[in-house]
């Protein structure tokens, strides 16, 4: 818990929920990644939280950036980073957006099929591409499923296709799934990557780079290993599969860079029961699925919640948001234990909410404004 955030909230008196993020923690996280994998370039996944202060800090620290759109590329350029520190990592791009990125100087693009290679051939001739390989996301709380990537045999053909079209077949990428608690997840993926390197060498094409994606966890309710453990596991897997011919590597932490750095303050709007016989109380907050807590979908991400009455006896509670939509329930299958003394008007702290919250907030569903964001 950041004392700076608590102090900031003490001074604040305007109403409405807000997310406050402590840049000092982002700095510590960046340094932890750099130290854990000293030969690996860190590309911050901008989508996790594109606040200008975060981008400017990571620019100053020498970081690079994984962008998913031209708008994100422009935010990173506005923060002062040069285009050679940007990867256009979305495998799903309009050709005119590839053209715009190329015009801004971006030269590194993700693909996962021949059709995307063809767009890049036309819109960004000579650029470097890496092919994303499918990963099943097992062990991740927020798996990225089959939407991105192709199987390894197809990846080899996509890379060869790119090479023949005059692009630089630079390497492969994968993402082991977000909030990945299994340290071994990178081992399987790197074994696959090494096999593709070998296959391509056999075809006379020398790959240089492995993009090891994100997946590094934030500290939610469940405990997770620290960044140094990930560094050790990943470096071990690299040595195991590539021997002493290590490729260039990059990682793209999003959640692991900013998740722990932010905290949301919300207010209890109502506490009620559905029947006098019920044990379970419903606790309605002034923030819900539509105003930043979208990752509570399927109760996948369980944020730690602090109340001013912690230490008192607790009972199970269903937590819900304030809007008139029945999907706006945060936790019901596995209720939260909250103090019996919790009262309407109490402020609660929802911790580790620096990633995937502010930009997930709707612009005003049901008249509730977007989640306010402060970076300190
Ligand atoms: C979202 C995303 C990331 C960040 O993932 P985290 O699990 O938040 O670290 C990294 N790379 C790509 C390509 C992504 O789409």
Whole-number Å distance, alpha carbon 115 to ligand 1 midpoint, is: 23
**What is the chain's alpha carbon radius of gyration, rounded to the nearest angstrom?**
22
pLDDT for 351 equals 98
Extract the tokens encoding 128. 């470097």
CA 169 to chain centre: 26
**Average pLDDT score over residue span 101-105:** 98
pLDDT for 12 equals 87
Q: Is 256 in the pocket of ligand 1 (CB under 6 A)?
A: yes
pLDDT of 91 over the 90 cut: yes
Q: Is 175 in the pocket of ligand 1 (CB under 6 A)?
A: yes
Q: Is 171 in the pocket of ligand 1 (CB under 6 A)?
A: no
Whole-number Å distance, alpha carbon 63 to ligand 1 midpoint, is: 15
Q: Is 66 in the pocket of ligand 1 (CB under 6 A)?
A: yes
Q: Is 155 in the pocket of ligand 1 (CB under 6 A)?
A: no
Whole-number Å distance, alpha carbon 45 to ligand 1 midpoint, is: 6
* Mutate which of 29, 48, 111, 137 for ligand 1 pocket (most atoms within 8 A of beta carbon): 48
CA distances from 38 to 24, 30, 34, 81, 151 (A): 20, 11, 5, 21, 30
| Residues 128, 106: Cα–Cα separation, whole Å | 10
pLDDT for 136 equals 84
Closest CA to 300 of 249, 334, 257: 334
* Mutate which of 111, 214, 251 for ligand 1 pocket (most atoms within 8 A of beta carbon): 214
Pairing mode, strands 329-339 and 372-375: unpaired
pLDDT for 145 equals 74
Domains in the chain, ordered, with CATH? 23-258 (3.20.20.10), 260-375 (2.40.37.10)
Q: Is 253 in the pocket of ligand 1 (CB under 6 A)?
A: yes
Give the pLDDT band of residue 170 (cuts 50, 70, 90): very high
Whole-number Å distance, alpha carbon 249 to ligand 1 midpoint, is: 15
pLDDT for 358 equals 97
Whole-number Å distance, alpha carbon 255 to ligand 1 midpoint, is: 8
pLDDT for 105 equals 98
Q: Is 59 in the pocket of ligand 1 (CB under 6 A)?
A: no
* Mutate which of 175, 176, 301, 360 for ligand 1 pocket (most atoms within 8 A of beta carbon): 175
Extract the tokens encoding 310. 């912690």
Closest CA to 329 of 287, 369, 358, 370: 287
Handedness of CA 190, 193, 198, 204 (dihedral sign): negative
pLDDT for 360 equals 96
Q: Is 254 in the pocket of ligand 1 (CB under 6 A)?
A: yes
pLDDT for 144 equals 77
Closest CA to 153 of 104, 215, 198: 198
Matching residue, tokens 């509670």: 317
For the CA of 173, the closest atom of ligand 1 is 13
pLDDT for 235 equals 98
pLDDT for 50 equals 98
Instruction: Give nearest CA residue, ligand 1 atom 5.
Output: 214
Q: Is 212 in the pocket of ligand 1 (CB under 6 A)?
A: no
pLDDT tens digits for range 35-61: 999 999 999 999 999 999 999 999 999
pLDDT for 353 equals 98
pLDDT tens digits for range 116-168: 999 999 999 999 999 999 998 888 888 877 899 999 999 999 999 999 999 99
Active-site residue, 324 included: yes
* Mutate which of 54, 252, 300 for ligand 1 pocket (most atoms within 8 A of beta carbon): 252
pLDDT for 285 equals 98
Give the pLDDT band of residue 290 (cuts 50, 70, 90): very high
pLDDT tens digits for range 237-270: 999 999 999 999 999 999 999 999 999 999 999 9
pLDDT tens digits for range 262-275: 999 999 999 999 99
Closest CA to 290 of 355, 366, 374, 349: 366
For the CA of 68, the closest atom of ligand 1 is 15
Per-chain mean pLDDT for the chain? 96
pLDDT tens digits for range 336-376: 999 999 999 999 999 999 999 999 999 999 999 999 999 99
């Amino acid at each position: 818990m950041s004392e700076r955030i608590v102090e900031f909230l003490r001074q604040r008196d305007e109403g409405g929920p807000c997310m406050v993020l402590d840049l000092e923690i982002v700095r510590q996280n960046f340094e932890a990644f750099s130290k854990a994998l000293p030969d690996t370039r860190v590309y911050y996944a901008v989508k996790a939280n594109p606040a200008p202060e975060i981008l400017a800090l990571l620019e100053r620290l020498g970081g690079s950036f994984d962008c998913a759109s031209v708008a994100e590329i422009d935010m990173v350029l506005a923060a002062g980073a040069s285009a050679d520190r940007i990867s256009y990592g979305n495998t799903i791009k309009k050709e005119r957006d590839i053209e715009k990125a190329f015009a801004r100087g971006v030269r590194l693009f993700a693909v996962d099929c021949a059709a995307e290679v063809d767009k890049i051939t036309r819109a960004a001739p000579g650029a470097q591409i890496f092919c994303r390989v499918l990963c099943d996301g097992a062990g991740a709380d927020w798996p990225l499923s089959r939407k991105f990537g192709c199987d390894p045999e197809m990846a080899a053909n996509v890379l060869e296709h790119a090479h023949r079209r005059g692009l630089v077949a630079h390497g492969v990428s994968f993402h082991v799934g977000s909030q990945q608690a299994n340290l071994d997840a990178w081992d399987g993926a790197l074994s696959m990557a090494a096999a593709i390197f070998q296959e391509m060498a056999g075809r006379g094409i020398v790959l240089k780079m492995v993009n090891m994606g994100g997946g590094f966890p934030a500290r939610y309710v469940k405990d997770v290993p620290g960044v140094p453990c990930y560094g050790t596991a990943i470096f071990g897997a690299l040595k195991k599969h590539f021997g002493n011919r290590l490729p260039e590597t990059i990682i793209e932490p999003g959640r692991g860079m900013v998740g722990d750095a932010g905290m949301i303050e919300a207010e209890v709007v109502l506490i009620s029961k559905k029947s006098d016989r019920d044990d379970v109380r419903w606790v309605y907050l002034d923030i819900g699925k539509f105003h930043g807590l979208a990752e509570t979908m399927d109760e996948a991400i369980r944020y730690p919640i602090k109340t001013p009455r912690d230490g008192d006896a607790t009972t199970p509670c269903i937590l819900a948001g304030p809007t008139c939509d029945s999907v706006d329930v945060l936790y019901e299958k596995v209720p939260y234990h909250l103090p019996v003394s919790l009262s309407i008007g109490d402020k609660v702290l929802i911790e580790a909410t620096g990633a995937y919250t502010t930009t997930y907030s709707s612009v005003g569903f049901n008249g509730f404004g977007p989640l306010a964001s402060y970076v300190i």
